[in-house]
């Protein structure tokens, strides 16, 4: 097994941690060296538990392993459900030396990480992400949190895991739409920072959609390396980390317009990246050939390349006006100065933005 494992490190001084990637790791890989004391609490949900909980327990030989199974869904990423984690920890008498383990997608990962940041003022945690999106994005970087009725991810903390274990085999049970949604973030890394990875993706995207293990390991490894590098340079989003939002300003507008859950985040980001690339072309930063390449890649990943029917430029503008990247009311977007090189800029000609929006809205 060992020869199939790819390992990389998120460099954060004495809080550095490994990301372990490969097939067949769940149930086989010994994670007990990353456990602080003798207690482990695995947090998962009712979809993932029957698939992988037993295997996850086997990753902690010699430890006392308890588990909490939460309901499944973004709508449960809230205070009430978070409190069930604290209930379980207190009822099972978990001490400050306990280690929380997130087994599931980004919802479970964000909530478990936040529970670990808060429980007894902070305990260790380990990520075992089981969706492609959580493997390449949410499990790396230490952002944790829950939603508030008035806003997504509004309550949270930075809390880095001790280790991230990514079993590429766990993607076999994932619905194809979720695989495509994860691929949007994979493509994003190529577009913002890694031209050679983007070139590779164009040759590999069909194998990724088909969940070919070697291609998956490579794509996840490259994606995590890219995110790890950005996070190491800018842990708390003072600047550089904002480039990870390529396609997200348009995408968030689409998600909000469609009603959360109707378009997956990754689907909206896929379309959003096409729109950001179109605007980059209008701004004279890239060529029409570059745009065609991005459109083709997004399409082959199984992602939509146009916003939902009926969405107007106004629908975009009102929602984009409240984006977190904006400074003093001025719209800021991530654009491409070349394929593989992103910039965050407020210097956008309004007529170009208007032209992009009207080109994409019927």
Binding residues for NAD(+) are 72-77, 106-110, 130-131, 143, 152
Residue ranges for the known binding site are: 72-77, 106-110, 130-131, 143, 152, 185, 248, 265
Using CB atoms within 10 Å of the CB of residue 224, give its burial: 0 to 12 exposed, 13 to 18 middle, 19+ buried: buried
* Region from 21-29, 59-67, 137-145, 326-334 binding ligand NAD, contact rule CB under 6 A: 137-145
Report, in Å, the least distance between residue 354 CB and ligand NAD. 30
Report, in Å, the least distance between residue 355 CB and ligand NAD. 30
Rounded to the nearest 5°, which phi and psi values hold at 2? Answer: -55, -35
**Interface map 48-77 toward ligand NAD (x if CB under 6 A):** x--x--------------------x-x--x
Using CA atoms, how far apart are residues 301 and 352, in angstroms rounded to an integer? Answer: 27
Contact with ligand NAD (CB under 6 A) among 55, 99, 124, 138? 138
**Interface map 11-50 toward ligand NAD (x if CB under 6 A):** ----------------------------------x-xx--
Query: What long-range pairs does 280-283 form, CB within 8 A, spacing at least 24?
Result: 280/335, 280/336, 280/337, 282/349, 282/352, 282/355, 282/356, 283/335, 283/348, 283/349, 283/352
Q: Which residue has the tokens 């079993």?
A: 167
Report, in Å, the least distance between residue 62 CB and ligand NAD. 26
The contacts of residue 151 (CB under 8 Å, 6+ apart) are: none
Contact with ligand NAD (CB under 6 A) among 40, 89, 166, 174? 174
**Interface map 81-110 toward ligand NAD (x if CB under 6 A):** -----------------------xxxxx-x
Contact with ligand NAD (CB under 6 A) among 133, 231, 291, 348? 133
- Considering beta carbons, is residue 227 or 293 the nearer one to ligand NAD? 227
Instruction: Go through the chain and tell me how many residues it has.
Output: 362
- Considering beta carbons, is residue 141 or 304 the nearer one to ligand NAD? 141
The contacts of residue 302 (CB under 8 Å, 6+ apart) are: 176, 177, 179, 180, 183, 209
* Region from 54-62, 170-178, 251-259, 351-359 binding ligand NAD, contact rule CB under 6 A: 170-178
Using CA atoms, how far apart are residues 220 and 182, in angstroms rounded to an integer? Answer: 10
Report, in Å, the least distance between residue 19 CB and ligand NAD. 14
Q: Is residue 275 within 8 Å of residue 250, measured between CB atoms?
A: yes
Report, in Å, the least distance between residue 293 CB and ligand NAD. 25
Report, in Å, the least distance between residue 211 CB and ligand NAD. 11
Query: Active-site residue numbers?
Result: 121, 143, 185, 227, 237, 241, 245, 248, 252, 265
Q: Which residue, among 87, 86, 127, 122, has the nearest Cα to 107 in the 3D structure?
A: 127
Using CA atoms, how far apart are residues 343 and 316, in angstroms rounded to an integer? Answer: 21
Contact with ligand NAD (CB under 6 A) among 66, 169, 178, 218? 178
When asked if residue 272 is in the footprint of ligand NAD (CB under 6 A), the reply is: no
Task: Compute how many residues bind ligand NAD; rule: CB under 6 A.
Answer: 26
Using CA atoms, how far apart are residues 64 and 290, in angstroms rounded to an integer? Answer: 54
The site for ligand NAD (CB under 6 A) is made up of: 45, 47-48, 51, 72, 74, 77, 104-108, 110, 130-131, 133-134, 137-138, 141, 143, 153, 170, 173-174, 178
């Amino acid at each position: 097994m060992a020869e199939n494992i790819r390992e990389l490190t998120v460099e954060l001084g004495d809080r550095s941690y490994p990301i372990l990637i490969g097939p067949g790791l769940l149930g086989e890989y010994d994670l007990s060296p990353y456990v602080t004391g003798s207690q482990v609490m695995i947090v998962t949900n009712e979809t993932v538990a029957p698939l992988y909980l037993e295997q996850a327990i086997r990753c902690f030989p010699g430890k006392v392993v308890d588990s909490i199974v939460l309901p499944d869904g973004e709508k449960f990423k809230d205070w009430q459900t978070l409190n069930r984690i604290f209930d379980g920890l207190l009822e099972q008498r978990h001490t400050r030396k306990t280690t929380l383990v997130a087994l599931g997608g980004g919802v479970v990962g964000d909530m478990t990480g936040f529970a670990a940041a808060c429980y007894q003022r902070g305990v260790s945690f380990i990520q075992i992400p089981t969706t492609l999106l959580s493997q390449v994005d949410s499990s790396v970087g230490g952002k944790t949190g829950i939603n508030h009725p008035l806003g997504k991810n509004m309550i949270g903390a930075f809390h880095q895991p001790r280790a991230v274990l990514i079993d590429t085999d766990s993607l076999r049970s994932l619905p194809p739409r979720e695989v495509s949604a994860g691929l949007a973030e994979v493509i994003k890394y190529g577009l913002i920072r890694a031209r050679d990875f983007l070139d590779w993706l164009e040759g590999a995207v069909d194998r990724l959609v088909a969940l070919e293990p070697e291609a998956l390991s490579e794509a996840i490894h490259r994606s995590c390396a890219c995110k790890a590098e950005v996070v190491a340079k800018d842990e708390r989003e003072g600047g550089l980390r904002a480039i990870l939002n390529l396609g997200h300003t348009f995408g968030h507008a689409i998600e909000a317009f469609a009603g959360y859950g109707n378009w997956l985040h990754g689907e909206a980001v896929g379309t959003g990246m096409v729109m950001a690339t179109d605007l980059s072309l209008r701004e004279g930063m890239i060529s029409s050939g570059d745009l065609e390449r991005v459109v083709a890649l997004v399409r082959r990943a199984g992602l939509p390349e146009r916003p939902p029917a009926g969405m107007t430029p106004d629908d975009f503008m009102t929602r984009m006006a409240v984006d977190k990247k904006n400074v003093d009311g001025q719209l800021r977007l991530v654009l491409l100065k070349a394929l593989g090189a992103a910039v965050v800029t407020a210097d956008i000609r309004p007529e170009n933005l208007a032209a992009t929006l009207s080109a994409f809205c019927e």
